[in-house]
Amino acid sequence: MPSIIRNILALSAVATVAVAQDPPPKLDAPCADVVIFMARGNNAPYHDYRTFPYADATCGKLRAEGKTCDYIEIVFPKGGDYCKQIGEGVRNGQSQIAAFNKKCPCTHLVLNGFSQGAWITGDILAGPGGCSQITTGFDPTSAPGNAVAAALLWGDVMHVANQPYNVLDGSDLQKDGRHSDSLARLNRYASVLRSYCAKGDPICANGDDVEKHLTYFERYTEDASNWTVGKINDAAPLCAVPTPTPSASSTPAASSVGVAAV
């Protein structure tokens, strides 16, 4: 899909923010109630200003409910060959998610990807893994796929029109879309998935308004964070809650029953 890649690379020149030194990725988190895996856009630094309002808002709302929340960043190169960036992001993302789920099997996972990161996030769930088949994605019925309580795609390069999880006025539009096999695998996650695409977005809707692509989080963070918190609250526990065992002191003994004196 050379045309869409050229379009994305042109967009990255507009989106780049000059920084003295990019921050390193955050690679781990404690076993919180919820951990968000973040996949940034093309040519963006880790912990970028564009996508992190969503993570901050979501964790803030969960903490207000008494839950714990943290995030991890999916590792992939900032530049270089676009297809290789996607492939590396998918491999790393799957490895990072699987390793964290093994460490923290009771933590609900949220996946959040913007632009290039949305392609990576979708391929983590459904394959193929960039521009060639390297994975068929996570199975939603087994670990770690069954720990995914919510997944969000924003301005997705691989956006497909008329899917039940699409939102905004670009829901019925697309540029290239996913292969039917990959789409079928992605749709296994339909109940926990949201794909934001605005009409005019050149990446997901084949439009010509770059600002529509670059301002999702300014416009829709409140909506997305509320939806995510709702999905977390609706999700079944991943680990059985132990039944409290009565202590010996709380169980009346036969000898403790008072007997009236004769």
Angle formed by the axes of helices 82-103 and 2-15, nearest 10°: 80
pLDDT value of residue 255: 36
Q: Which domain, by its residues, includes 233? A: 2-241
> Residue 202: is its pLDDT beyond 80?
yes
Residue 139 lies in a domain: yes
CB neighbour list of residue 210: distance below 8 Å, 6 or more residues apart: 11, 14, 202
pLDDT value of residue 187: 99
Cα–Cα distance, 233 to 67 (Å, whole number): 10
What mean pLDDT comes out for the span 57-86?
97
Residue 262 lies in a domain: no
Q: Is the peptide bond prior to 128 cis by the omega test (within 30 degrees of 0)?
A: yes
| pLDDT band of 174, cuts 50, 70, 90 | very high
Residue 253 lies in a domain: no
**DSSP H or E segment with residue 84:** helix 82-103
pLDDT digit string, tens, across residues 71-82: 999 999 998 999
Residue 235 lies in a domain: yes
Domain count, the chain: 1
Return the closest-CA partner of residue 72 out of 22, 116, 21, 107.
Answer: 107
Residue 248 lies in a domain: no
What mean pLDDT comes out for the span 23-45?
97
**Average model confidence (pLDDT) across the chain:** 89
> Residue 8: is its pLDDT beyond 80?
no
Q: Which stretches does DSSP call E strand in the chain?
A: 34-39, 69-73, 108-114, 148-154, 166-167, 193-196
Q: Which two tokens stand for residue 102?
A: 């093994």
Residue 220 lies in a domain: yes
Cα–Cα distance, 252 to 41 (Å, whole number): 63
Cα–Cα distance, 33 to 104 (Å, whole number): 9
Residue 162 lies in a domain: yes
What mean pLDDT comes out for the span 237-255?
62
The most distant pair of C-alpha atoms in the chain lies apart, rounded to whole Å, by 100
The pTM score is 0.86
pLDDT digit string, tens, across residues 100-116: 999 999 999 999 999 99
Residue 173's domain is classified under what CATH number? 3.40.50.1820
Residue 254 lies in a domain: no
